[in-house]
Amino acid sequence: MKSLFTAIVCIAFFSSFTLAQEATQWRGEHRDGNYNETGLLKAWPAEGPILLWHNESLGDGYASVAVDGKLIYTAGSVGGKGHIFAFSPDGQPAWKTPYGDEFIESFPGTRSTPLVNDGKVYLMSGLGKIVCLSADKGSELWAVEVLKDSLDKSRQYDGRNIQWGVTENLLIDGDKLFCTVGGILNNIIALDKNTGKLVWSSAGNGETSAYCSPLLVTIGGRKILVTNTQKSILGLDAETGKKLWSYDQVNQWSVHANTPLYSDGYLYCVSGYGCGGVMLKLSADGTSVEKAWKNEVLDSRMGGIVLIGGKIYGLGDKIKGLHCLDWKTGKELAYDKLNGKFGTIISADGMMYIYDETGEVSLVEPTADGFKKISGFKVPFGTAQHWAHPVIAKGRLYIRHGNSMMVYGLK
């Protein structure tokens, strides 16, 4: 059971293309794990890049970080109460705001990463509370309970929690904030980002959520919200919530924690526990999909995948290590056991960054016939599991490990 939850949370900690306004969010600007940074180090000293500062007061949790033009945001659980934290670029605390109870059962702590948009910070707790705070001061602007035990009956959506707590990194487009609540009738909803009021509700397939953070795809002039629920990949019209299509994706634990990848009319969705990945071709207007290929060798459980130069890179679950697949065919082009562990993967400036479950951070270079590890180091601080996804912003590498955040210089 421990290994099962491992997959879930991180992934969830742990889209495409373009948000109506700039958002600082889960796995980068396009939610694809690639950070638009240049001039970064191509190799590190034996002890790793320079540690600029760290903080060990974040409490329990697996939230990653969000970095905007002024502050750095993350979340943690202190005494079972969730908090959002903001820091200045030099590590000084700016504000700390409690938002209520957090998940305290197996693997206690925060699950999701703050989303920063238009001067506001958004987060959903593992108990289904969505909170909106002012980005500069941390004052609460609104909050909504989306699960069936809501105290506010006017904003109750009959959502259902899941075994290890809902884990979704919220997504915004225009004034709409998207969330999978997992109810029978209210399965996926869009809220007004400024008020928290319901914009639309979709029944989807009536399945519970699956620890997946959604993706926004634009094709044929249509915006499509893509996510995984218990047994399905779903495509919804982002404007109205109408279900356009669904495609079966099933594994033994109903865990689909990786955000899909989209490029040029094709959508790649991958899950762990031997399920593997499927490439779907979208119709010209986005209203239907068909299978292009399937590959079960790369079955990333919780660490995301990246696309570099027409190749998919990700860490396997059953066959642990780094796998490289051809985007067009699904053929495996390269594999290396590396540390033989699962972990998370991001990319920037043509290089890959892997943070594995032992606490090692590796710098890996893609090559013509595969990849090679260039440098690596172990993180020195923090508690519990190494599950949070790294972030690169403004020439810095951010690593969250339990109660600690570490910030390294990459230039």
Give the residue among 94, 51, 50, 53 at the shortest CA–CA distance from 70: 94
Domain locations in the chain as residue ranges: 2-379
Distance (Å, whole) CA 252 – CA 273:
7
The model's pTM:
0.93
Give the residue among 276, 286, 273 at the shortest CA–CA distance from 239: 286
pLDDT of residue 339: 84
Burial of 247 (0-12, 13-18, 19+ CB in 10 A): middle
Distance (Å, whole) CA 167 – CA 13:
7
DSSP 7: H
Per-residue pLDDT of the chain (411 residues; tens, 9 = 90+): 444 444 444 434 333 333 333 569 999 999 999 999 999 999 999 999 999 999 999 999 999 999 998 999 999 999 999 999 999 999 999 999 999 999 999 899 999 999 999 999 999 999 999 999 999 999 999 999 998 654 556 566 889 999 999 999 999 999 999 999 999 999 999 999 999 999 999 999 999 999 999 999 999 999 999 999 999 999 999 999 999 999 999 999 999 999 999 999 999 999 999 999 999 999 999 999 999 999 999 999 989 999 999 999 999 999 999 999 999 999 999 999 988 888 999 999 999 999 999 999 999 999 999 999 999 999 999 999 999 999 999 999 999 999 999 999 999
pLDDT of residue 21: 37
In this structure, what token pair is assigned to residue 402?
Answer: 């339990």
User: CA torsion sign, 40 to 11 to 265 to 190?
Assistant: negative
Class of domain 2-379: mainly beta
DSSP 153: G
∠21-24-30 over CA atoms, to 5°?
Answer: 75
pLDDT of residue 241: 98
Distance (Å, whole) CA 214 – CA 166:
13
